[in-house]
A and B are shown apart, each in its own frame.
Chain A
Amino acid sequence: MKDEAIYRRLFRTALLIRLVEERIIELYPSDKIQSPVHLSIGQEAVAVGVCDGLKPDDLVFATYRSHGFYIAKGGSLDAMFAELYGRKGGVSGGKAGSMHLAAPEVGLMGSSAVVASTIPHAVGAALSFKRRGLSQIAVAVFGDGATEEGVYHESLNFAALMKVPVLFLCEDNGLAVHSHRPVRQSYRLAEHAASFGIASRRLEEGWDMLAIRQATLEAAAKVRAGEPFVLEIVTSRYKEHVGVGEDFHFNYRTSDGVDAWKRRDPLIVDQKLVATLRPDIEREIEAAVAFAEASPAPGRDELLADVI
């Protein structure tokens, strides 16, 4: 397939993610989504490029900021909106909400609101693939802040010892809630990975979906051959850490960095393609919202189900 066709496919998915999240922003004041949302606006290229570089049965273990990965992995849009609405038709019947979004049927495993907690899950799944002679790989998705948790270090160590097919994917937006990297990190991720014998790559062009896809294809090939790999992708979180607004007025960061990023953001730059794709995507989103609106609320039976 020519790059142009691939680009169009990636662009469509990225635009879908952005428009879904923009619809969430519109809906949020209505209080129909009664739980925290962590928007990935600005970071869509990572989810899209990575998931397109994976095989459909590769697994992704992600975070509370996973609307993008859910959609990029092919999760049902109807079930996603119903989940955000907390309805029976939700992908987890309303028990996951935005923060624990999971769609194992398309390879998105349970996500976590506790930073770094799903990283070892990917290592365990990868061991299962290896033991059973499968060619699948597991991808641990986390932010740069997660690398400060001990479990990140522990997981890299064990993955290297066991030589399991796991890709450690760091979405580096430089922020942990409202804290910048210089107050948090005294190490360099690549050097840390290298100390375990794990190869790594840092991609600065986190707006470039094709470059991310290519980097993922290359990294996944190494991982599939049995070597863990760390792929760091620089990206930009446009919105506040949690919620649907912006946060520049809190003065912990300026809008300069985000503005510079927006000037390269294909979803902003390529308005012609946006205009072409938008109507169809909007119809898809409206159908999903209507599905959520019509889905019944869960009750006591659902509360008590699936505990043990």
Chain B
Amino acid sequence: MRKLDYAGAIREATTQEMERDSRVFVYGIGVPTWSSIFGTTKGIPEKFGKERCFDTPISEDAMTGFGLGAAIRGLRPIHVHIRVDFMILATNQLINMVSNYTYSTGGKLKVPLVVRAVIGRGWGQGAQHSKALFSNFTHIPGLKVIAPTTPSDMKGMMIAAIRDDNPVICFEHRWLYWAEEDVPEEPYEIPLGVGRILRPGKDVTVVGLSWMNVEARLAADILAKRGVSVEIVDPRTLAPLDENLIVESVKRTGRCIIADCDWVDSGFSAELSARINEKCFGKLKAPVKRIGFAQTPAPTVRELENEFYPNAKTIVHAVEDMLGLEAANLDGEDFFSHERRFRGPF
């Protein structure tokens, strides 16, 4: 097996599906240009031509409705937004049309549409380039929502998403694009709606969302040195949620920290916490703890960013607090920053 990064996994999944199925096409603002959405569409316009990989006007709403129209008439569109903050211009189509189209037509018309949205922290990108907004979309029946963390998960889930007859929104944290690991070359599917235990452990469960799984791994390594065993669960698909995997993990450990790269208030972490409390009430040794953005708009300056975003340090201290341990001195530890691109491995 060879190493492939997360952007390469998206590119390879898209390319392989476009080779297999002539109905698949990919489009969006800047998609076929040299910048190629962090490299995720690099080489695709050359290989498949502008009919199957094309740029669009800056018209997110119409372009989403256009995708719906193409999807109900035999094509399988992949619509890409270089920021989720731009995708919200398409919320009328996503929430009023795409999500209920199959339902309103009594199941007669399926909408096999994939919508990719880049999320997450950049470098001083501020209030309109840094969101995640998971729960805005998991709230809506009729949409599948995925947020793969690892390159191999991304490849298999992207292929599954393209083959799915339902609309699928795929959240991609931009810091993950450089993550590398062994990824099989042949096409394969990882079923949507199935989570994954990224790291087994016994003292506390950390449910990580997207990038926060990277932070959780680092936190788990640091905590392991102190004899604390952390289990990391990556739901991978947020809707439909693999609730059982999370519940069983929390029942085993009796403790749960949810690490999100989104706001905490009414965020996806609130949904997870509610379900864990409903299903694990008698087994919990401590209240569920949630970690996420500060409840402020995303700031621009680094000092405020450091206060705003949670990271491995936040997770380490949350675990210590939950276990009644003293806070460790983390001065010698190496944490991620944008300047030090994360390359893995997973």
Contacts and interface: CB of A to CB of B under 8 A. Distances in A.
B66 interface: yes
A92 interface: yes
A117 B109 contact: no
10 contacts: A95-B104, A117-B97, A119-B65, A120-B61, A120-B69, A120-B93, A125-B69, A151-B59, A155-B66, A161-B57
Contact of A128 (B63, B74, B106): B74
A62 B25 CA distance: 26
Given A112-B97, A114-B92, A123 B106 contact: no
B144 interface: yes
A181 B281 CA distance: 59
A92 B105 contact: yes
A97 to B, nearest CB: 9
A126 B72 CA distance: 11
Nearest to B105: A102
9 A-B pairs with least C-beta separation: A124-B69, A120-B65, A154-B62, A92-B106, A154-B59, A306-B107, A121-B69, A128-B73, A124-B70
Interface string B101-116: 1111111110000000
Contact of B142 (A109, A305, A308): A308
Nearest to A96: B104
A100 interface: yes
B62 A120 contact: yes
B67 interface: yes
Contact of B64 (A120, A128, A129, A131): A120
B216 interface: no
A138 B70 CA distance: 11
A104 B74 CA distance: 13
Contacts of A124: 65-73, 75, 77
Nearest to B167: A308
Contacts of B102: 306-308
B106 A91 contact: yes
A206 interface: no
Nearest to A157: B57
B240 interface: yes
Contacts, number: 141
Interface string B89-105: 00011001100011111
Contacts of A114: 92, 96-97
A123 to B, nearest CB: 5
Contacts of A118: 65, 97
Contacts of B344: none
Interface centre among A150, A155, A306 (most CB of B within 10 A): A306
Contacts of B97: 110, 112, 114, 117-118, 121
A178 to B, nearest CB: 23
Contact of A125 (B70, B141, B144): B70
A121 B109 contact: no
A93 interface: yes
Nearest to B240: A308
B64 to A, nearest CB: 7
B163 to A, nearest CB: 15
Contacts of B142: 307-308
A95 B108 CA distance: 12
B130 interface: no
A127 interface: yes
Contacts of A90: 106
B35 interface: no
A122 B67 CA distance: 10
Interface string A105-144: 1000110101001111111111111011000001000000
B166 interface: yes
B339 interface: no
A106 to B, nearest CB: 11
B186 interface: no
B75 A128 contact: yes
Interface centre among B62, B64, B67 (most CB of A within 10 A): B62
B59 A157 contact: yes
A127 B71 CA distance: 10
A308 B51 CA distance: 29
A132 B103 contact: no
Nearest to A127: B70
Nearest to A308: B166
Given A125-B73, A128-B75, A96 B141 contact: no
Contacts of B244: none
Contacts of A119: 62, 65
Nearest to A97: B104
Contacts of B65: 117-121, 123-124, 151, 155
A138 B63 CA distance: 16
A308 B109 contact: no
Given A109-B109, A306-B107, 17 more contacts: A92-B105, A92-B108, A96-B105, A102-B105, A104-B108, A120-B64, A123-B65, A124-B65, A124-B75, A127-B75, A131-B75, A151-B65, A155-B65, A307-B141, A307-B142, A308-B102, A308-B143
B136 interface: no
B256 to A, nearest CB: 27
A248 interface: no
A102 B104 CA distance: 8
Contact of A150 (B61, B67, B166): B61
